[in-house]
Amino acid sequence: MKTVITYGTFDLYHTGHQRLLERARKLGDKLIVGVTSDLYDQSRGKLNVQQSLEERIENVRRSGLADVIIVENEEGQKIEDIQRYDVDVFAIGSDWIGKFDYIKEYCDVVYLERTKGVSSTDIRKKLLPIIRVGIVGCGRITGRFVNESKFVSGLDVIAVYGRDKKKASEFATKYEISGAYSDYGHMLSTVDAVYIAVSHHVHYEFAKKALLQGKHVLCEKPLTLTQEQATELYQLATEHGCVLMEAIKTAYAPGFCQLLGIVKGGVIGNVLAVDAAFTKIITDKTLREYDAAQAGGALTELGTYPLLAITKLLGTQPLNVSFFSIKNEEYQVDTFTRAHFTYKGANAIATVGIEAKREGDLCITGSKGYIYVPAPWWKTEYFEVRFENSERNRKYFTKFEEDGLRYEIAAFIKRINGNEPSQHHLSPEESIFIAGIIEQFRNQA
Ligand code: CTP
């Protein structure tokens, strides 16, 4: 009995898949097909898959060519599978030539000629409308957005808005964007969606204008500086049939989502405390962080990440919130702030600083154990679940590719296309709550 194994995503099943399985089947007596899990695809940066794992398994089952279908959950699993199933031949398409030579130590490796002219990527492009995106602002993060958007199917950045036309044009040239505008209304008329990355204090007006014109909005954090404004924007989005998302990348990152799943599954017991920190020492006083008129300061700049962790883990109903803060009197901005939250049976502290340094970590204290995520926890790539009996400790690793904006961009496009109706990564209620905390702090400060 000769056993053959092959792997793939098998999204939007096509003739290339069918031909590959037929030929792989002929290499032996039994064919095992490994279908990649959603989490594995996400973690290796393949963010455009349209069908769920169940649908993709069904695609392979219906081909009638697989004797056994398994799920590929993580990198490194192949060698384990090959040994476990006593595999004789590993077969894969020729797009992978050379990449799996290391498997030759365990079984034969056969690269099968890839069928020309067909791929899931091409089918997705034809199937999905391309969302035309305009970028609002030409600042630090917008370039990263353009680069990261290239990893997601279904959008095209076609316009950039800047108050200063010359800057917008320079940005457009640098990032090969066709339209540069200093008239926001004009830019809006050319796009389906906007990514807003201007100073915090003007997020509200730019987002409102876009929503009123029926444009989808992905807005940098903090969405707004008051709870009322955030509530109004989400209402406007509903009324105009638009997607509104606050661009908190951590909320969409695979590692952070896995961490939340582990906590919600009760592995560390009841959550008793959350401590989350994000500090930077920013010496350049000409930056927005030191400009009170642009709503600078540590909490508005960096607070969203720790507030996200606290909100996701303990909810939006604290009994009490108070702040300890140090202000730079010359610039009138907070340079170090700790927000203390009291919940029923739990407590949390968010620590941020622009003139302070400590480990940017996240620690979740539970009644049975704790989770520790070292800096930079907001780019969750690695975390540990630890117990009194350290033999039970477990380490978790997930990829967080480069700047990580691709995860929120993929979620935004999926929501626009109606492929992700749920807003579980970050609900309007959670986003509005975070705006409310920032407002409360600014009122007291
Ligand atoms: N395959 C093939 N011929 C094609 C497309 C895919 O032989 N035209 C093979 C791949 O080499 C792989 C298997 O089919 O061995 C599963 O590939 P998968 O990545 O699921 O398909 P793609 O169409 O390449 O998907 P994508 O465009 O998302 O990369």
Q: Where are the alpha helices (DSSP H) in 199-350?
A: 203-212, 227-239, 249-252, 254-264, 298-302, 304-314
pLDDT-derived band at 418 (thresholds 50, 70, 90) equals: confident
Q: Is 137 helix (H, G, I), strand (E, B) or coil?
A: coil
Q: How far is the CA of 384 from the centre of ligand 1 (A)?
A: 35
Q: Is 121 helix (H, G, I), strand (E, B) or coil?
A: helix
Strand order across the 155-161 sheet: 179-181, 155-161, 131-136, 193-196, 216-220, 244-247
Tokens of 331: 């610039």
Distance CA 185, CA 167 (A): 18
Single-letter amino acid code for the residue at 323: F
pLDDT of 369: 98
CB environment 394-407: b (16+ within 10 A), e (fewer): eebebbbbeebbbb
Q: How far is the CA of 93 from the centre of ligand 1 (A)?
A: 7
Give the mean model confidence (pLDDT) for residues 57-75: 96
Q: Give per-residue pLDDT as tens, 360-405.
A: 999 999 999 999 999 999 999 999 999 999 999 999 988 888 889 9
pLDDT-derived band at 274 (thresholds 50, 70, 90) equals: very high
Q: How far is the CA of 227 from the centre of ligand 1 (A)?
A: 47
pLDDT-derived band at 46 (thresholds 50, 70, 90) equals: confident
pLDDT-derived band at 255 (thresholds 50, 70, 90) equals: very high
% of the chain surpassing 70 pLDDT: 100
Mean pLDDT of all residues belonging to the chain: 95
% of the chain surpassing 90 pLDDT: 88
More confident residue, 403 or 11: 11
Q: Give per-residue pLDDT as tens, 110-135.
A: 999 999 999 998 898 888 788 999 99
**Atom nearest to 10 CA in ligand 1:** 20
Distance CA 257, CA 252 (A): 7
Q: What is the best residue among 69, 120, 127, 153 to mutate for testing ligand 1's pocket, by most ligand atoms within 8 Å of CB? A: 120
Which of 27-41, 80-94, 410-424 comes out lowest in average pLDDT?
410-424
Distance CA 346, CA 271 (A): 7
Maximum CA extent, the chain? 79
Q: Give per-residue pLDDT as tens, 166-175.
A: 999 999 999 9
pLDDT of 32: 98
pLDDT of 4: 98
pLDDT of 419: 75
110 lines ligand 1 (CB under 6 A): no
Residue 67: is its pLDDT beyond 80? yes
Phi then psi dihedrals of residue 284, to 5 deg: -80, 105
Residue 421: is its pLDDT beyond 80? no
pLDDT of 49: 86
Q: Is the dihedral of CA 12, 15, 18, 19 positive or negative?
A: negative
Q: What is the best residue among 119, 126, 151 to mutate for testing ligand 1's pocket, by most ligand atoms within 8 Å of CB? A: 119
59 lines ligand 1 (CB under 6 A): no
Q: What is the CA radius of gyration of the chain?
A: 24
pLDDT of 208: 98
Q: Give per-residue pLDDT as tens, 191-226.
A: 999 999 999 999 999 999 999 999 999 999 999 999
Contact indicator for 33, 58 with CB cutoff of 8 Å: no
Nearest Cα residue to 294 out of 268, 257, 332, 253: 332
Q: DSSP for 356-384?
A: ------EEEEESSEEEEE-SSGGG--EEE
17 lines ligand 1 (CB under 6 A): yes
pLDDT of 218: 98
Give the mean model confidence (pLDDT) for residues 47-70: 94
Q: What is the best residue among 6, 20, 27 to mutate for testing ligand 1's pocket, by most ligand atoms within 8 Å of CB? A: 20
Tokens of 125: 């492009």
Residue 152: is its pLDDT beyond 90? no
Strand order across the 394-397 sheet: 320-328, 333-343, 346-353, 271-279, 362-366, 369-373, 382-387, 394-397
Q: How far is the CA of 178 from the centre of ligand 1 (A)?
A: 32
Residue 43: is its pLDDT beyond 90? no
Give the mean model confidence (pLDDT) for residues 19-41: 95
Tokens of 187: 């830019």
pLDDT of 399: 80
Phi then psi dihedrals of residue 363, to 5 deg: -130, 125
**Atom nearest to 49 CA in ligand 1:** 28
Three-state SS string across 241-252, please? CCCEEEECHHHH
| Per-residue DSSP letter, 202 | G
pLDDT of 395: 97
Distance CA 35, CA 63 (A): 13
Note the pTM of the prediction, 2 decimals: 0.83
Distance CA 89, CA 121 (A): 27
Q: How far is the CA of 114 from the centre of ligand 1 (A)?
A: 7
Nearest CA to ligand 1 atom 17: 8
Q: Give per-residue pLDDT as tens, 302-354.
A: 999 999 999 999 999 999 999 999 999 999 999 999 999 999 999 999 999 99
Point out which residues pair with 382 in neighbouring strands.
Answer: 397
47 by Cβ neighbours in 10 Å (0-12 / 13-18 / 19+) ranks as buried
Q: Is 420 helix (H, G, I), strand (E, B) or coil?
A: coil
